[in-house]
Amino acid sequence: MANERIILLGVMIVAGILCGMMINVALDRKPWELGGITGGAVVGFLMWLL
């Protein structure tokens, strides 16, 4: 159960980072620009937490 929660956290953060990278591209930035990646990681974490 605990392992699955941790794996899920990883999956959601990866999904968030992917989303952030897509937003970076959509806003004419480089996909790996820090803002989108940090924002995406926070989104993934918050969604997992709540």
Which residues of this chain interact with another protein, rule CB under 8 A?
1, 4, 7-8, 11-12, 15-16, 18-29, 33-40, 42-44, 46-50
Question: At its nearest, how many Å lie between another protein and the CB of residue 17?
Answer: 9
Q: What Å distances lie between residue 4 and 7, 10, 12, 32, 41, CA to CA? A: 5, 10, 12, 28, 18
Question: At its nearest, how many Å lie between another protein and the CB of residue 36?
Answer: 4
Torsion of CA 5, 11, 14, 15, to 10 degrees: -120
Question: At its nearest, how many Å lie between another protein and the CB of residue 42?
Answer: 6
